[in-house]
Amino acid sequence: MSSTTPDPTRDGSGSTGSARATEVADPTAATAALPADLQDERLIADAGGIGGMVRSFVARFRSGDLGALPVVIGLVIIWLVFQSLNDAFLSPRNLVNLTLQSAAIGTIAIGIVLVLLLGEIDLSVGSVSGLSAAVVAVGSVGRGWPIIVALLLAVAVGAVVGIAYGAMFTRFGVPSFVITLAGLLGFLGLQLKVLGAEGSINLPFESGLVKFAQATFLPAVVAYVIALAAVALYAATRLRSNTRRAAAGLSTVPVNMIVVRSVLLALLLVVPVAVLNRDRGVSVMFLVFLALVVVMDFAIRRTRWGRSVMAVGGNVEAARRAGINVNRVYLSVFALCSSFAALGGIFAAARLAAANQSSGGVDTNLNAIAAAVIGGTSLFGGRGSAYAALLGILVIQSISNGLALINLGSPERYMITGGVLLLAVTVDALSRRTRAAAGRA
């Protein structure tokens, strides 16, 4: 769709005979008539309505820009395989359990996505989550603090840890791998110290925090209203974006394409809600996790801070020369990563109604990092989305949940998850090579 003012002398095809002859004779005139962002020859394929959008998608796919397609295909295959092995896998009750199991580590994975976008890593998210769980348990149960005070203190501890990581990284140049590896050990010890000699503290079942994680579900009607409101918000946002882009002389998305996308989004949201409502419904804790994903995706794609994160992850020196405060970006991302780890630890403690010496241990680190990578976040920085945390944790928890249903345990889960992680990293490396060959790296 062109934003130029319609010419009354044009015929129904949009140009006069003499103008059309000029376009044929002078290709640069036709290019100049396109919206400003489509005058680059690498993007001209985007024009042409739905057909143009499809051709653009195929072109991006061939150039190595795979998006979330591989992980979505993998998730569908995993679900079909486990459903064929056990009819209970896709039952409403099991899918509700799957959402409850995904919220805690999925929240931690959001922070991992952020540090991976910078091309860095945080190996201590498990220990920080365990420490925050211990702070909440000791504060609310052992010391009798109001639960809100214990929660705020636990998240604040996470933020301070992240700021300390960022300060060491930016001031002394210590690699994030080393800093957070030291943090993994140090905060595990601090967690044990906070828990004390008993090593385990149970949260009362009548606690609002435990009820929030275990027994709070949206009423069916409210869940449908939220799903449809999300679709309406998406459509309104896209139409508003079209108006602003047209006013700026840029290309716009065809209205019929927005309608198609809105219908697909409605199906994607309403159908799962209908399935979950056949059992307990949509967990409020899982809804909070989804809200965090949406908010962080907006922050990454639509704010100056998010664009700075992507720029630093793509090329830190170029970002610095462009005037971006690189140190501030690193500080904010490490602080957010540790804060999300603390929040995930709180979710995990609330769901299990306890904090103990194994909180945040075992495979919490590995699952959070694997979820971010499997979901499509590049290990090389500069490419990824907050939705990678959602898709990745669904893959990992589906594998864990499905294997439990067919009576296979941790050995098989570790081996299969490791294989999926290796496959995801390989796909990322190959797509990066393909993008480089296509000039889109």
Query: Which pLDDT score is estimated for 6?
Result: 42
Contact 125, 106 (CB under 8 A): no
Query: Among all chains, which residue has been given the structure tokens 């709180």?
Result: 346
Neighbours of 19 (CB within 10 A): 17
CA distance 368 to 106: 7
Look at residues 252, 241, 282 and name the one whose alpha carbon lies nearest to residue 98. Answer: 282
Query: Which pLDDT score is estimated for 42?
Result: 52
SS3 406: coil
CA distance 401 to 394: 10
- For the stretch 333-348, pLDDT in tens is 999 999 999 999 999 9
Extract the tokens encoding 370.
């694997």
69-215+292-425: in CATH 2.20.28 = no
| Helices and strands of the chain, counted as H and E runs | 18, 2
Q: How far is the CA of 319 from the CAs of 115, 276, 308, 310, 326, in angstroms?
A: 16, 45, 8, 9, 7
The string of DSSP letters for 78-123 reads HHHHHHHH-TTTTSHHHHHHHHHHHHHHHHHHHHHHHHHHTT---T
Query: Which pLDDT score is estimated for 15?
Result: 45
Query: Which pLDDT score is estimated for 363?
Result: 83
Look at residues 415, 441, 388, 352 and name the one whose alpha carbon lies nearest to residue 114. Answer: 388
Contact 292, 155 (CB under 8 A): no
Of the chain, the end-to-end C-alpha distance in Å amounts to: 28
Query: Which pLDDT score is estimated for 438?
Result: 66
Extract the tokens encoding 46.
């985007």
Query: Which pLDDT score is estimated for 25?
Result: 52
Residues of the chain with pLDDT under 50: 1-24, 45
Q: How far is the CA of 249 from the CAs of 46, 237, 238, 302, in angstroms?
A: 15, 18, 16, 19
Q: Where are the domains of the chain?
A: 69-215+292-425
Query: Which pLDDT score is estimated for 251?
Result: 78
Q: How far is the CA of 66 from the CAs of 186, 212, 305, 383, 430, in angstroms?
A: 39, 37, 25, 11, 10
- For the stretch 249-266, pLDDT in tens is 887 888 888 898 899 999
Query: Which pLDDT score is estimated for 419?
Result: 84
Query: Which pLDDT score is estimated for 16?
Result: 47
Q: Is the Cα dihedral 143, 144, 145, 147 positive or negative?
A: positive
The string of DSSP letters for 176-221 reads HHHHHHHHHHHHHHHHHHHHTTT-EEEPPTTSHHHHHHHT-B--HH
CA distance 183 to 73: 36
